[in-house]
Amino acid sequence: MGRPAKFDRDAAVEIAMQEIWRHGFEACSVATLSARLGITRSSFYNAFCSREALFLEALERYLATTPDRMLATIPSDAAVLPLLTEMFRALCHDRAVDPEARGCMAVNAVAELTGTHETLGPILESRFQESIARIECLLARAVKQGELPPETDVKAKALALKSLIVGLNLMGKVVPDEATLWAAARHSLEGLGLWAEAETTHA
Amino acid sequence: MGRPAKFDRDAAVEIAMQEIWRHGFEACSVATLSARLGITRSSFYNAFCSREALFLEALERYLATTPDRMLATIPSDAAVLPLLTEMFRALCHDRAVDPEARGCMAVNAVAELTGTHETLGPILESRFQESIARIECLLARAVKQGELPPETDVKAKALALKSLIVGLNLMGKVVPDEATLWAAARHSLEGLGLWAEAETTHA
DNA sequence: CAGGTTTTGTCCAGTCTTGTACAAAATTTT
DNA sequence: AAAATTTTGTACAAGACTGGACAAAACCTG
């Protein structure tokens, strides 16, 4: 099967993710990325085809670890609201714990590439829409489970929630203090009637 | 006083603002900006010194027209809450009415340059902080004027508000529909206890 | 060991970028 | 009209980036 690659592809994607997270997509040229990865541009093109392709891989990798992920891996029967609260707590923590305050890679990417980048823009937009839809489903389930009143405007609330998520993520780049972020988040969640103390995980 | 400039400097700043708004700061090279402005790079450097300096001028120009401005030009005795509501309405409108859905230039700039650009980053951050402080003052005044209960956590509410503003502005790049944005905004405002019907401007 | 396959390093051409330098042009002031 | 001032066009040097071409190296399979 030919000559094996001299570098760890997975580790490379991780590094690339960190790099793009830090500096943004356009700021990471093939040259700088290759250097950072310890490979030549030749190997770069061979392994990843294009900067865009690597970005998408890096994005996937990022999304797999982001607090947002908690909303996708739905236990299906669990209460929604405590999960939501938990997610916001994790979000505030993640933003504040990062010494570089790079914010959320996905939000950064949307801000940078949406409406600008020919191919990446639409992909990010649809991801965004999907995220909103997922939240909408979750809220609908919360209504069905009696966690929210039946007259809840699920669509508006989902959008308000996503706004809050995006806002906090960007805010975290400027105000990287967990307590402060959490105060704002909790305040908003309470206002939306979505705040719920997490169940004490069986001690 | 020497040879007069062949181009309208003010109009040039306007065009530059539009361009940076559209494509982001780093995507606008001196070459492309100069071309767009109809001048040579030589004239560009002569008139604006640097790309960064022009950006700051463009940013000032932008900030002078943004809905956020409504919160700075405080009538000092007027009710705060209706003004706030009005501002959000304008924000949702502005985001939705833009056929290119470029979002808010300031928010875009924060997302792009904060933590990355040596000189512009800190400037944008302090602008951001000032904006939060302004909102905080406004809310404090609202408490004093009896529009909000005395026990209001002004600091948390101000941050929640700013999060909402930022979130909506970014959201507008993906969901450029006024009704949808406004539904989310109003929902959040109501939750925060900040929604107030605007006084009918004397008909 | 030969043949096939894949990675890797080097090289290239073409385009872009920045900031400066210098002379020509245009206009005001003396 | 001459001098001073400022803008403008052109040119330069040094460097970065892209994407592809090509040969050499390294490995697997028959």
Reading the block at residue B198, the tokens are 């605007």
Low-confidence ranges of chain A (pLDDT < 50): 201-203
Confidence band, pLDDT 50/70/90 cuts, at residue B203: very low
* pLDDT reading at B200 higher than 60: no
Tens of pLDDT, residues A102-159: 999 999 999 999 999 999 999 999 999 999 999 999 999 999 999 999 999 999 999 9
Percentage of chain A modeled with pLDDT above 90? 87
Confidence band, pLDDT 50/70/90 cuts, at residue B121: very high
At a CB cut-off of 8 Å and minimum separation 6, what does A47 contact? A5, A9, A12, A39
As ranges, strand D nucleotides with an atom below 7 A of a protein CB are 4-11, 16-22, 25-29
Output the pLDDT for position A199.
58
Output the pLDDT for position B20.
98
Give buried/exposed letters for B65-99 (b at 16+ CB in 10 A, else e): ebbbeebeeeeeeebbbebbbbbbbebbebbbebe
Tens of pLDDT, residues B55-97: 999 999 999 999 988 888 877 788 999 999 999 999 999 999 9
Q: CB distance B110–A164 less than 8 Å?
A: no
Please state, in angstroms and rounded to a whole number, the distance separating the CA atoms of residues A104 and A128.
Answer: 13
Report the amino acid identity of residue B121.
G
Q: Is the dihedral of CA A165, A171, A172, A178 positive or negative?
A: negative
pTM of the complete model: 0.94
| R_g over Cα of chain A | 19
A–B CB contacts, 8 A cutoff, strictly below? 158
Confidence band, pLDDT 50/70/90 cuts, at residue B9: very high
Report the amino acid identity of residue A123.
I
B129, B110 contact by CB (below 8 A): no
Could you give the C-alpha distances from A173 to A21, A92, A184, B84, B112, in angstroms and in order?
12, 11, 15, 25, 11
A3 touches strand C (CB under 7 A): yes
| R_g over Cα of chain B | 19
Backbone angles phi, psi at B99, to 5 degrees: -65, -20
* pLDDT reading at B16 higher than 90: yes
Reading the block at residue A186, the tokens are 């909790």
Q: CB distance B111–A108 less than 8 Å?
A: yes
Nucleotide nearest to A45 (CA to C1'): D19
